[in-house]
Structure 1
Amino acid sequence: MSLVFNNYNGSIVTADQQVLRLNNRSFHYGDGLFESMRMIRGNLQFAGLHAKRLQMGMRALKFDHYSVLDAVFLVEKAKELANRNKAKNGRLRLTVFRDSDGLYTPEEQKFGYSIEWETLEDQQYTLNTKGLIMNVYEEMQKPVNMLANLKTCNSLTYVLAGIFKQKHRLNDAFILNQHGFLCESISSNIFIKYNNILYTPALSEGCIRGVMRQAVMDLALKNSIQVTEAQINPQILNEAEEVFLTNATRGIQWVLGFNRKRYFYEHSRFLSNKLNEQLNDSF
Structure 2
Amino acid sequence: MVNFNENILEDNTLLSINNRGFAYGDALFETIKASYGKLLFWEDHYFRLMASMRIMRMEIPMNFTMEYLEEQILKTLTENNLSNASSRVKLTVFRNEGGLYLPETNDISFLIAVKPVDTDFYIVQDTFYEVDLFKDYYVSPSLLSSLKTNNKALNVVGSIYAKENKLDNCLVLNTDKQVIEALNGNVFVVKGNTIKTPPIENGCLKGVMRKQIIETIESLPEYELVEEAISPFELQKADEIFITNVIVGIQAVSKYRKKTFKSEVSKLLIQKLNIKIRVS
Give TM-score scaled by structure 2 length. Answer: 0.96
Larger deviation: 28-37 or 124-133? 124-133
| 1:17 Cα deviation from its structure 2 partner | 2.3
The reply to whether residue 80 of structure 1 matches residue 78 of structure 2 is no
1:245 maps onto 2:243 in alignment:
yes
Query: Does 1:25 find its partner at 2:20?
Result: yes
* Residue pairs, 1:187-206, within 5 angstroms: 187-206=184-203
Contact 1:244 1:254 in 2 (8 A): yes
Instruction: Give the Cα–Cα distance (whole angstroms) in 1 for the partners of residues 65 and 253 of structure 2.
Output: 34
> Could you tell me how far 1:203 is from its partner in structure 2?
0.4
Within-5 A mapping of 1:177-188: 177-188=174-185
Q: Contact conserved, 2:18 with 2:97, CA < 8 A, in 1?
A: no
The secondary structure found in structure 2 opposite 1:148 is helix
Number of aligned residue pairs = 277
Give the alignment partner of residue 93 of structure 1, picking from 90, 102, 108: 90
Q: In structure 2, which of residues 198, 213, 216 is the aligned counterpart of residue 219 of structure 1?
A: 216
Task: State the shift of 1:266 in Å.
Answer: 0.7
Aligned residue among 141, 144, 148 for 1:144: 141
Which residue in 2 is equivalent to 1:277?
275
2:45 paired residue number: 50
* Local SS of the residue matching 1:208: coil
- Aligned 1:119-134 pairs, distance under 5 A: 119-134=116-131
**In structure 2, C-alpha distance between the alignment counterparts of 1:153 and 1:196, rounded to whole Å:** 37
- Deviation (angstroms), 1:143: 1.0
CA 1:240 to 1:154, structure 2 compared with 1: closer, same or farther past 3 Å? same
State the SS of the aligned residue for 2:187.
Answer: strand
Q: Which amino acid aligns with 1:236?
A: E
Moved over 4 A (4+): none
Deviations 1:115-150 (A, max 9, x none): 110112321112212131000000100111120110
The letter of the residue matching 2:139 is K
TM-score under structure 1 normalisation?
0.95
Which residue type is aligned with residue 2 of structure 2?
Answer: N
* Alignment CA distance shift 1:14-1:234 (3 Å): same
Distance 1:120 1:80 in 2: 18
| C-alpha contact (below 8 Å) 2:138/2:172 kept by paired residues | yes
Q: Secondary structure at the match of 2:145?
A: coil
Counterparts in 2 of 1:69 and 1:240: CA distance versus 1, 3 Å = farther
**1:279: Cα distance to partner?**
1.7
Out of 109-118 and 122-131, give the one that drifted further. Answer: 122-131
Q: Is contact 2:90–2:112 with CA below 8 Å preserved after alignment?
A: yes
Cα distance per residue 1:36-92 (max 9 Å; x no partner): 100012100111100111011100010112664343233212211111111231001
Residue ranges of structure 1 left out of the alignment (5+ in a row): none
SS of equivalent residue, structure 2 residue 262? coil
Task: Give the 3-state SS of the residue equivalent to 1:114 in structure 2.
Answer: strand
Q: 1:13 — aligned with what?
A: 9
Counterparts of 1:219 and 1:74 in 2: how far apart (Å)? 27
Find the residue that maps to 2:170 and give its secondary structure: strand
Three-state SS of the structure 2 residue aligned to 1:245 is strand
5 Å-filtered alignment, 1:59-78, equals 59-65=54-60, 68-78=63-73
Of the three residues 109, 114, 130, the one matched with 1:112 is 109
Contact 1:6/1:116 (CA < 8 Å) preserved in 2? yes
Structure 2: gaps (5+ residues): none
